[in-house]
């Protein structure tokens, strides 16, 4: 699936849950850096990145490097597995609220 054109099912669910929860997040948020990262969602005023990990390759070394880079630049990165988004998106929203309320 091409990024920026189509949303995955879990991204749609997350987007709807964020909206319903009153959390203003930007989808497909570009991180201005030499690597050209694009976050699934971001809450820029809180420097929060929200990733919806629906594919089995997520969580590997590449994501760890990316997360480390973003954290070194002051971002908080939350990753949610697709199954969690599908079955318990409310727990994801609760965790996001915890981070932005700090």
Tell whether 20 is covered by a domain.
yes
- DSSP-assigned letter for residue 86: H
Tell whether 79 is covered by a domain.
yes
For residue 6, pLDDT over 80 is answered with no
The domain total for the chain is: 1
What range does the domain containing 48 cover? 9-96
Q: Per residue in 30-88, pLDDT tens?
A: 987 776 789 999 999 999 999 998 766 566 778 888 899 999 999 999 999 999 999 99
Which residue's entry shows tokens 């709807």?
Answer: 16
Q: What is the pTM of this model?
A: 0.86
pLDDT value of position 59: 62
Tell whether 101 is covered by a domain.
no
Q: Per residue in 71-82, pLDDT tens?
A: 999 999 999 999
Q: What is the CATH number of the domain that holds 49?
A: 3.40.960.10
Question: Which H/E stretch holds residue 26?
Answer: strand 26-30
Q: How far is C-alpha 81 from the chain's CA centre? A: 10
Tell whether 15 is covered by a domain.
yes
Which residue's entry shows tokens 């949303």?
Answer: 7
List CB contacts of 53: < 8 A, sequence separation 6 or more: 59, 63, 79, 80, 81, 82
Tell whether 2 is covered by a domain.
no
């Amino acid at each position: 699936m091409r990024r920026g054109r189509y949303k995955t099912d879990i991204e749609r669910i997350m987007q709807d849950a964020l909206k319903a929860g009153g959390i203003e997040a930007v989808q497909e948020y570009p991180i201005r850096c030499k690597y050209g990262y694009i976050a699934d969602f971001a809450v820029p005023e809180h420097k929060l990145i929200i990733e919806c990990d629906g594919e089995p390759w997520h969580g590997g070394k590449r994501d760890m490097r990316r997360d480390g880079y973003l954290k070194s630049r002051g971002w908080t990165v939350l990753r949610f597995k697709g199954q969690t988004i599908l079955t318990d998106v409310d727990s994801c929203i609760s965790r996001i609220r915890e981070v932005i309320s700090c």
